[in-house]
A = this chain, B = another copy of it.
Amino acid sequence: TIFTHRQESTQPFTQVVEITDTTYDPAVWGQNFPLQYEGFRATSEFDVAEMVPNDPPNTADDQRGEYLTLSKLAIEPRLVSIWKGYAFSVEYREPRGHEWMLIDQQWTHRQTNFNQVGACLNCHASLPEIMDSLGNGDQAAGWAAMNKLPYGEAVQHASGPIACIDCHEPGTMKLRITRPAFVEGIKAVKASEGIADYDVNRDATNQEMRAYVCAQCHVEYYFKGDEKTLTFPWTEGLTANDAIAFYDNVGFSDFKHATTEVSVIKAQHPDFETWSQGIHASNGVTCADCHMSYMREGAAKISDHQVASPMRSEATINQSCLTCHHSSAAEMQQRVDTIHQRWEDAKNVSFTAVQALIDDLTAAVQSGTATPEQLAQAGDFQRKAQFIVDYSVSENSRGFHAPAYSISILNQATDYARSGQLVLRGVDVDNARGPETYDIQPVEPPAR
């Protein structure tokens, strides 16, 4: 009622328990911040309509509960094609809320049927506790140890999914970065922009932190060297092409494609990098603005800790988008639908081309008809084209985070894939030449 509302506004935070560097359990933090905690736990909710039954549920081999998310391999079977020879061709699903991250990782066939390493835990478990536990207090040592341990061993040190301590500094509640991979990654980005010696926990603005905390995980990554150090490929910049350049420079490939024998790169969830190319980012609109928008709880305004799609209900669209867009929820939904549809169409153009190249290359390898140069060139086109399409499909907003950019990279992928097919037919291919590289004169006008 109005009385309590008036009262609430005077005392938003109550310190019930003391929070220290070793208060790993979010339930304890929740005593001080019950509203945030409630939202945080609600990331376990999902829409049953977007799920398939896990039949039978909770066997010894699969503890993922009664439901699994939809299979992306079934929705887009060409993904199987580009990933032949890699764990992803076996199982790949829609993500769900944060509360599921550890369970979903533990029981995916990509994990259970392959030899994975502890580095996987970086983004699927509460990290401070693991680092402390494995390093005996020396977090850097703990991290190094975790990365290269076999997954099954490393996961013993994990007590649960992401927790308050992963994003907040105990005591002050300031946002903070807890992932060494991001500390290094963003340092490289800033260096490439001419900013030396960037220390994210010292130099980032609050606004930046509202994106950076997410960018610890929602980014493209690889495991570097024998140390399996989790690394973000950002020294050249944050675009898809910058990532390709990075991997080419360091000579990294994730796997050899089973039928084309090309060394290719796997792209994972470049949500942050893609967002950074869009108009929201250039206007300082962050992940938290849309995915953790402010909401009224009594008289207090808090950040909605039920991190999820802002489009999930009229109320959440209102709470996030309408803060800035003086429009209606229906109109915002319409805009997002248009963007998704346009991206989907563009993806189909590119993916059809990529599939055609893979089929051609597979045939060429089998028949042995192509020259080694042709195979090498066409293979390089496959590497680039499929990385870009993978990048765009693995990005979770289906084009929304940067609509024009997302389609522009797909345009390149189309060009690369078709070029690969041409190379196999002995054609010399040029790509993306500027007008200044041509020498074509206007035609002389006919006499009057």
The stretch that binds B, out of A32-40, A193-201, A421-429, is A421-429
Mark contacts of A57-84 with chain B using CB atoms, 8 A cut-off: 1 yes-contact digit, 0 otherwise.
0000000000000010111111011001
Assembled-state Cα–Cα distance A412/B109 (Å)? 37
Please report which residues of chain A, range 166-191, place their CB below 8 angstroms from some CB of chain B when the two chains form the complex.
none
Q: List residues of chain B with CB within 8 A of the CB of A440.
A: 77-78, 80-81
* Known pairs A91-B445, A342-B404; A355 contacts B438 (CB<8 A): yes
Total residues of chain A contacting the partner, CB 8 A: 71
Q: Residue A411 at the B interface, CB < 8 A?
A: yes
Q: A415 touching B353 by the CB < 8 A rule?
A: yes
The stretch that binds B, out of A94-102, A265-273, A344-352, is A344-352
A264 to chain B, nearest CB (A): 15
* Known pairs A112-B448, A408-B342, A411-B346; A427 contacts B435 (CB<8 A): no
A3 to chain B, nearest CB (A): 23
Q: Residue A42 at the B interface, CB < 8 A?
A: no
Q: List residues of chain B with CB within 8 A of the CB of A403.
A: 403-404
Q: A435 touching B349 by the CB < 8 A rule?
A: no
Q: Give which listed residue, B89, B283, B412, contacts A349 with CB less than 8 A.
A: B412
* Known pairs A438-B355, A444-B90; A411 contacts B350 (CB<8 A): yes
* Known pairs A352-B432, A352-B433, A448-B113; A442 contacts B408 (CB<8 A): no
Q: A80 touching B442 by the CB < 8 A rule?
A: yes
Q: List residues of chain B with CB within 8 A of the CB of A412.
A: 349
Q: Residue A418 at the B interface, CB < 8 A?
A: yes
* Known pairs A342-B408, A414-B415, A422-B425; A442 contacts B348 (CB<8 A): no
Q: Residue A419 at the B interface, CB < 8 A?
A: yes
Assembled-state Cα–Cα distance A109/B443 (Å)? 11
Q: List residues of chain B with CB within 8 A of the CB of A350.
A: 411, 415
* Known pairs A282-B335, A348-B432, A432-B352; A411 contacts B407 (CB<8 A): yes
Q: Residue A441 at the B interface, CB < 8 A?
A: yes
Q: List residues of chain B with CB within 8 A of the CB of A410.
A: 411
Among A76, A334, A352, A429, find the residue whose CB has the most chain B CB atoms closer than 10 A. Answer: A352
* Known pairs A411-B410, A418-B415; A78 contacts B438 (CB<8 A): yes
* Known pairs A421-B422, A421-B427, A422-B421; A435 contacts B342 (CB<8 A): no
Q: Residue A2 at the B interface, CB < 8 A?
A: no
Assembled-state Cα–Cα distance A442/B81 (Å)? 9
Please report which residues of chain A, range 282-331, place their CB below 8 angstroms from some CB of chain B when the two chains form the complex.
282-283, 327
Q: Residue A431 at the B interface, CB < 8 A?
A: yes
Assembled-state Cα–Cα distance A84/B441 (Å)? 11
Assembled-state Cα–Cα distance A345/B419 (Å)? 17
Assembled-state Cα–Cα distance A338/B76 (Å)? 32
A105 to chain B, nearest CB (A): 15
Q: Residue A405 at the B interface, CB < 8 A?
A: yes
Among A89, A114, A418, A431, find the residue whose CB has the most chain B CB atoms closer than 10 A. Answer: A418
19 pairs from A and B in contact (CB 8 Å cutoff): A73-B442, A77-B435, A77-B439, A77-B440, A78-B438, A90-B442, A109-B445, A282-B334, A283-B327, A346-B408, A348-B432, A349-B411, A349-B412, A352-B430, A353-B415, A399-B404, A404-B404, A407-B408, A418-B421
Q: A80-B441, A91-B445, A349-B411 are in contact. List 14 more A-B contacts (CB 8 A).
A: A73-B442, A80-B442, A89-B443, A112-B448, A279-B335, A342-B405, A346-B408, A346-B411, A348-B433, A349-B415, A350-B415, A355-B438, A411-B414, A422-B425
